[in-house]
Amino acid sequence: MNHAPPIGVVAALSAEARSCATWRELGNLELIIAGPGPLRAAAAARRLVAAGVRELVSWGTSGALSEHLKPGQLLLLKETCDTNGQRYPADAQLLQLFSHRLATLSPLPVVALTLATPVLHQHEKRALAQRHHCAAVDMESAAVAQVACAAQLPFLAVRSIVDPLDFDIPTAAMAGMSEDGEPQPIGVMKALMARPRDLFAVIRLGLHYRTALATLARAAGLLGRSEIAR
C-alpha cells in the first residue's frame, strides 16, 4: 500500500509555503521549500517523485508580462515553457478540477515562461512577452513540469501575480531573496542604505507581495475544503 501523500507541492519561498497552510492541514500533500530558481525547483520535484507522490504542483508567485494582469490575480498555468522553447502543458483533468474548485477567485488560464533569473524592468518584461508569447513569468514552474513529464505524472502550476507589467522591481529588493527561500530583511535594509531612492518602490513591492500571498492563501483554503487527489 502506498502511504505517500498523493500531491507533491514545490514552493520557492517560505512565505509562499505558509500561504498553503490551510491546504496542508488536510495531510494529503507533501510540500518542499526549494529556494528560488529552476535548478532548486527540479531537485525538490525529484525528491517528491522519489517519495512516491502521484501529482506535482508548482505553487507561488509570478510577474506579469501582460498589462491585464494585476497584483493578486490568480493564475492556473495551462502551459509553461522555458527559454529553450520547450513547452509543458498542464494536466487537463487537474486544470479543470482546480478551475472548478477555485472558481470564486476567477483564476485565469495562461501560458507562462520560466527563467533562471528575476526580471526586474518593464522593458525586459515586454520583450519577453513579445518573444515567447507568454502572459506571466516565474523561476520554477517549467522545471517542475519537466520532472513531472519525465516521471509521467500530472502537473499543474498555481500562481499569483506580484509585480504588474509597468512596475520596475527595485534593485534593493533583490537583497531579500536568499538561496534557501527564507526572507532576509536585514539584507534589504542594508541595500536601502546604499540605494535610498529604492525605498518607495520596495514598499510598493511589499504591498503587491502581500496581495499575491493573500490570494494564494484564499486558494489554499478552497483547496483544503475539497478532495483534490484522484
56-to-76, 186, 198 alpha-carbon distances in Å: 14, 34, 37
Task: Please classify residue 28 by burial: count the beta carbons closer than 10 Å to its beta carbon, then call 0-12 exposed, 13-18 middle and 19+ buried.
Answer: middle
Structure confidence by residue, pLDDT tens digits, 81-99: 999 989 999 999 999 999 9
Nearest residue to 64 via CA among 157, 168, 209, 162:
162
Query: What local confidence, expressed as pLDDT, does residue 129 receive?
Result: 94
Structure confidence by residue, pLDDT tens digits, 186-198: 766 776 677 778 7
In this model, does residue 173 exceed pLDDT 90? no
Distance (Å, whole) CA 163 – CA 123? 13
CB atoms under 10 Å from CB of 127, counted, come to 13
What does the block give as the cell for 228? 483534490
Task: Find the range with the poorest average confidence among 3-17, 39-53, 120-134.
Answer: 3-17
Distance (Å, whole) CA 41 – CA 173? 21
Query: What local confidence, expressed as pLDDT, does residue 197 receive?
Result: 82
